[in-house]
Structure 1
Amino acid sequence: MLNQRTALMFIFIVSLLTIIGAFIFQWMGYEPCPLCYMQRWAYYAAIPLSLIIAGIARSNAGIARWGLFLLALIFIANSVFGIYHSGAEWKFWPGPSTCGGALGDGLPTLTNEPVVRCDEAAIRILGLSLAGWNAVICALLAVVALKGASRKV
């Protein structure tokens, strides 16, 4: 049965594994674009938040419920963000002009940093880019948070 604490611990574990996975892909040479970095923010917030709320859940079901609603909103927003990024990679719509790989004012940069475009998928796994998988994972976590919020401790 999915109670509040179980939902919170599931969110903690999946969020932690997801961000570790992102670091592993980066270590393997798949450099993240600016949108990829922004999609990590939800996990950076959810990891400590879910753990703190899980500690409170036994003594205060009301706070746990509101915390789960907050986590659901975070993950819904990040899922939409992942869909936006994935759509830009599939060329369904343009991505932001700030991460298209242009040199800005036309002057060459003096660093050796690679240009990572937001509208090109670095890798696809089972047909989805990492941004697409982010959207799926966040949608799943939002559902878990909402189901957990509807249950008692």
Structure 2
Amino acid sequence: MNRQTLILIATAGSAALMMGALGFQYLGGLAPCKMCYWQRYPHVAAVVAGLLALAIRSRLLPLLGALATAITGGIGVFHTGVERGWWEGPTTCTSGDVSNMSADALLDQIMNAPLVRCDEVAWTFLDLSMASWNAIASAVLVLIWLAAARRSA
């Protein structure tokens, strides 16, 4: 396969994983946990790197795509370990800016926010969670990115 095709496949792969995550969230009603969000950001970076790599012939951009997908895959492996009880996950939660909110509005936001724990699996297929599937798919995408980078030299 040529460089452009490999970049298109890798970019589309990260975009598809993002669309899947958003579909599970907004269509399936599965609220993401903190680590689920962490896995999304590198996919967005990989899509941006891919779009730039389609326009600019550079070996660096496919390598950045590979790095981004390796990061999300690593987070997926870590998240899988948390889900399976192999190690502890984060003990903190995050919130947006609440400085301009009244106490009643803040309490309402807290009471209506879904409680999503990183160590509870919301969905599985073939006994693997979404985090596990992200790690597997990301590993494949890393290989595709690296093949594109090799063809960029």
- Do Structure 1 and Structure 2 share a fold, with TM-score over 0.5? yes
Q: How many residues align?
A: 137
Work out the CA distance in 1 between the residues paired with 2:52 and 2:150. 19
What does 1:25-104 correspond to in 2, within 5 Å?
25-27=24-26, 28-57=28-57, 63=58, 65-99=59-93
Question: Identity rate of aligned residues, in percent?
Answer: 39
TM score, norm. by length of structure 2? 0.83
- The one-letter code sitting in structure 2 at the alignment partner of 1:119 is D
Q: What are structure 1's unaligned runs of at least 5 residues?
A: 58-62, 100-108
Contact map agreement 2:6 2:145 (CA 8 A) in 1: yes
Work out the CA distance in 2 between the residues paired with 1:71 and 1:12. 8
Instruction: Tell me what 2:8 maps to.
Output: 9
- The one-letter code sitting in structure 1 at the alignment partner of 2:56 is I
Q: What are structure 2's unaligned runs of at least 5 residues?
A: 94-105
Q: CA RMSD in A?
A: 1.5
Work out the CA distance in 1 between the residues paired with 2:43 and 2:65. 10
- The one-letter code sitting in structure 2 at the alignment partner of 1:82 is G
Give the ranges of 4+ consecutive aligned residues of structure 1 lying more than 2 Å apart after TM superposition.
Answer: none
Work out the CA distance in 2 between the residues paired with 1:137 and 1:39. 12
Q: Does 1:128 align with 2:128?
A: yes
Work out the CA distance in 2 between the residues paired with 1:149 and 1:141. 12
